[in-house]
Amino acid sequence: MSGSKPMISVCWLRRDLRLHDNAALFHALKSGFPVLPVFIFDDAILNQLDDKADKRVDLIYQMLENIQQKLQATEGSIRIFHGSVKQAFDILINEYAVQKVFCNRDYEPYALQRDAEIRYFLNAKNIEFHSYKDQIIFEWNEVLKADGTPYTVFTPFSKIWKKHLSEIQIPAYPSEKHLNNILKSDKKASFPKLEEIGFHKTGIQFHEAKPEIYTIENYHLTRDIPSLETGTTGMSLHLRFGTLSVRELVKIASISNETWLNELIWREFFMSILMHFPHVANGAFKKQYEAIEWRNNEDEFQRWCNGTTGFPIVDAGMRQLNETGLMHNRVRMITASFLVKDLLVDWRWGEAYFASKLLDYDLSANNGNWQWAAGCGCDAAPYFRILNPSEQTKRYDPELKYIRRWVPEINEFGYPAPMVDHSMARERTLKAFKEGLNNI
């Protein structure tokens, strides 16, 4: 006790909503003080969400309920706050003699700034602030060229990434073995209702998951077939919120399937790009692409959003996104290419729409992939590579299994005719890109 207040460590959970193999939690539990796990529903983030039935908030809420339930065995509890991060720490410091705060590093621009401010605030009060690498294997400054500059092309990045991996033992942080050091029940704290945070239930159900070994072993054969439920692993959501540890997944990937390992490396590649080139969050990686003259037709954009373009594979993807918050990767590529190249809509419009809907939304992955599709990113597909929706359908959904699931009325009267002629649109885009790039 310090005065009348109990001395504790705080473990501030963010994108790491799990009690096992969690670096920050592990270090907190070994800090010598009982640990209070904390989550803050941060108004700075929540206020940007217009839809109060946001599936992501509902999911996070359920993930926290899951943690709460597991903590019962320790007679402990997670403390949930709603408001600003600073307010939450003010309350904590008022109630406890907080000695140390532990968290895992988050690399998005807002998070970096928030953490820098909180570190400063806590240090001024003589409270230690410790942050750890947890959501990735190698941080932005660990995979660099020999001259210390960042890679901007995936293949050499992935080669060095794999070389580094072969030289280390992937660490484990068995936090689950030390849960007896969780602070015993905090009677003052009740678990708030979702409505008290300003959001509603959406019907979505969170389930813990592990990747299927069968899927991983066959990944290179099945990953491009959108009709296959288990053609890809469905781990993006778990990686996004940290309900699984990336270390577990990379250990499996490195002995099971190199194609799948590469996907996990793409994730880290785009995170590294965002750290080194933060301008990508708002604009093209290749700045000369800012000169493209977009058509940006609002009605056409709306038809793309609603899945009524008359291109079945595009409509199927957008309807899957609107209904489930997810979309198969191959179809994400097709829908993105269609918006940018067939409709000549600024890729940032599509990026923002995906950001508002995707359960696995991640700034670096979403941005990197949109820039890739638009041709303006690092290591992007060249702008003249334009996906043809019909050819893509023949190749990846020849029996229309995926399409029929999401667009059952495809052959019925009332399903719209294609909203644009693909060949004409292709030429129009090539011209717009050529002109834009030549005008610099």
Residue 361 near ligand FAD by CB under 6 A: yes
Residue 267 near ligand FAD by CB under 6 A: yes
What is the size of the binding site for ligand FAD (CB under 6 A)? 27
Query: Which alpha helices (H) appear in 168-245, and where do they start and end?
Result: 213-217, 219-222, 236-241
- Is residue 161 part of the annotated active site? The answer reads no
* Residue of 240, 338, 213 lying closest to 15 (CA atoms): 240
Q: In the complex, what is the shortest distance from the CB of residue 97 to ligand FAD, in angstroms, rounded to a whole number?
A: 40
Rg (CA), the chain: 23
Distance CA 382, CA 11 (A): 45
Q: Which of 347, 349, 372, 406 is catalytic?
A: 347
User: Of the listed pieces 24-32, 101-109, 190-198, 264-272, which binds ligand FAD according to CB under 6 A?
Assistant: 264-272
Give me the residues paired with residue 11 across strands.
37, 102
* Residue of 36, 13, 12 lying closest to 243 (CA atoms): 13
Q: State which H helix or E strand residue 276 sits in.
A: helix 258-276
List the structure tokens of 42.
């941060």
Which residue lies nearer to ligand FAD by CB, 68 or 329?
329
- Is residue 140 part of the annotated active site? The answer reads no
Name which position in 161, 370, 402, 433 contacts ligand FAD (CB under 6 A).
370
Residue 369 near ligand FAD by CB under 6 A: yes
Mask for 72-111, x = binds ligand FAD (CB under 6 A): ----------------------------------------
Name which position in 365, 380, 425, 432 contacts ligand FAD (CB under 6 A).
365
- Is residue 372 part of the annotated active site? The answer reads no
- Is residue 351 part of the annotated active site? The answer reads no
Provide the 8-state DSSP code for 376.
-
Residue 266 near ligand FAD by CB under 6 A: yes
Residue 366 near ligand FAD by CB under 6 A: yes
Q: Dihedral (C-alpha) 353, 411, 399, 386: value to the nearest 10 degrees?
A: -40
Buried b (16+ CB within 10 A) or exposed e, 1-17: eeeeebebbbbbbbbbb
List the structure tokens of 163.
């070389």
Residues with a catalytic annotation lie at 263, 266, 294, 329, 347, 370
* Binding site residues, ligand FAD, CB under 6 A: 223, 232-236, 239-240, 263-264, 266-267, 270, 329, 332-333, 336, 354, 358, 360-362, 365-366, 369-370, 373
